[in-house]
Amino acid sequence: MADTPRHPFLQGLSKHRGAPPTVVVIFGASGDLTARKLIPAVYNLSVDGLLPADFHLVGFGRKAISDENFRALAKDAVREFSRRELNPDDWGRIAARTTYVAGDYDEPAAFVRLAAQLTAIEQRIGREVQPLFYISTPPSVFAPILRHLGASGLAGKYLGQDHHAKVIIEKPFGRDLGSALELNTTIRGVFAEHQVYRIDHYLGKETVQDLLVQRFANAIFEPLWNRNFIDSVQITVAEEGGVGSRGGYYEQSGCLRDMIQNHTMQLVALTAMEPPGSYAAEAIRDEKVKVLKAIQPLSLVAGGDVARAQYAAGMTGGKAVAGYVEEEGIAPGSTTETYAAIRLSINNWRWQGVPFYLRSGKRMARRVSEIAINFKRPPGTLFAESGGFDLAANTLAFQLQPDEGLSLVLNTKIPGLETRTQPVKMSFRYSTTFGSNTPEAYERLVLDAMIGDGTLFIRGDEAETSWKLYTPVLAAWAAAGAEGLDRYAAGSWGPASGDALLARHGHLWRQP
């Protein structure tokens, strides 16, 4: 297939960061994440010429599947979920090096078979191959997989060399501080921290990566990025859909565990961190941890720093939809929150007195994720609102989904013979500037793990620090039961308690 012409803005940019010969082993190879994200990511990296010449893919799962059938399933996944159409030649190069190992995750003999498979690959190509283990399974089998990778010797393969074994672990990293500490103890008993890549796909989104570029590559922003100029920060991660077929999982999770503790806190850390000493992974991750440690414990009394709610019946997309407790797999008296709003206070020189407001929920007005930096209002000495001027606070908003980009709200004069003002929005969108075929987050993250770049992954102490903040909240909500659990209509922007959280401090939610 002829190379697709690159967008003019991308001409001259490098398309390759060298990865050593690699075999990616996917645990949970017949699962939904593998089909929707991981196999398409591998395919698109191949199309872009970013896979090493000696690349192999091994699926590992409980189901007894032949190599041929696994290749067929993988091909179907590319056909259905890839951002590019399946090309037989491109797929053929991957398929020829794709195999499958069947076995239980707590079966020592299965890991012996896996080790033999990797040895056979090395003997066939006549060189050592970096093993990259991707654990895409339910959390209940994280520990057995990790232990058997250690016991089989696979975790220590080529340790001390550039092509040492690595492991990618999907979230959730525990359910609270205690379970996160236990999981990290298991991980550290098998792998060194530099071998571990705790994945949060939000960090692979273009706009999330661009946040650091906007802050530190543009001199107009960083001097203003502090309590002297910024009034508040709002981070919204809203979903239009309900729990769907994930009711059983969501009942055990809830919004705080599912979205706030991981995805949303990553956005907080990147927004609030100090400039790192370098762009090296550890320099950036050190600054993220410092920010998380500076966040003050949350007030859990009525009128404090948290609000929770559950969606009731309402209208979404012009259609009537059921409330959470009417969804499949949900207990009638469930107190699981589908919405959470948080007010964070960061006790450091840069952010003292600047509230960070977080909210996430299901069945909200529309699907959108954004970070909004709200600057202080200009003094009204020249353009007082009582004089007919419509002055808005300047807002810099990073939109992460569905249409990645950023916008800046400015005040401008309305054309005419009188001096009147109106807020206007200046916008940049990745799709219109760089073309619409933006790489998926998993493509960037899988590539970074192969080359050993941990910048966009979560370090163990980072996960523990976040859980330390939110574990008391989870405990308080569990003890309170239904008390304090608000309701909001499906298709709305959330409950009254979420609005009150901001109103108590003189703020309103921005409507993205």
Which residues form the catalytic set?
Answer: 263
DSSP 23-61: EEEEETTTSHHIIIIIHHHHHHHHHTT-S-SSEEEEEEE
CA 28 to CA 7: how far, in whole Å? 36
Asked whether the bond before 131 is cis by omega within 30 degrees of 0, the reply is: no
Identify whether the C-beta of residue 233 lies closer than 8 Å to the C-beta of residue 356.
yes
CA dihedral 100, 102, 104, 107 (to 10 degrees): -90
Contacts of 384 (CB under 8 A, 6+ apart): none
DSSP 49-114: T-S-SSEEEEEEESS---HHHHHHHHHHHHHHH-SS---HHHHHHHHTTEEEEE--TT-HHHHHHH
Identify whether the C-beta of residue 27 lies closer than 8 Å to the C-beta of residue 60.
yes
Cα distance between the two ends of the chain: 41
Task: Pick the closest to residue 463 from 182, 254, 208, 255 (CA basis).
Answer: 182
Residue 110 amino acid letter: A
Residue 214 amino acid letter: Q
Alpha carbon 448 to its chain centroid, in Å, reads: 15
Residue 459 amino acid letter: R
Radius of gyration of the chain (CA): 24
Helices (H), 256-404: 265-272, 281-294
CA 365 to CA 372: how far, in whole Å? 18
Identify whether the C-beta of residue 51 lies closer than 8 Å to the C-beta of residue 19.
yes
Identify whether the C-beta of residue 155 lies closer than 8 Å to the C-beta of residue 448.
no
Task: Pick the closest to residue 74 from 45, 94, 104, 47 (CA basis).
Answer: 94
Phi and psi angles of residue 258, each rounded to the nearest 5 degrees, phi first: -75, -35
Structure tokens at 93: 């190069």
Residue 199 amino acid letter: I
Identify whether the C-beta of residue 351 lies closer than 8 Å to the C-beta of residue 226.
yes
Q: Exposed/middle/buried for 483, CB within 10 Å: 0-12, 13-18, 19+?
A: exposed
Structure tokens at 114: 């896996």
DSSP 363-391: SBSS-EEEEEEEEPPPPTTSS-GGGT---
Helix (H, G, I), strand (E, B) or coil at 106: coil
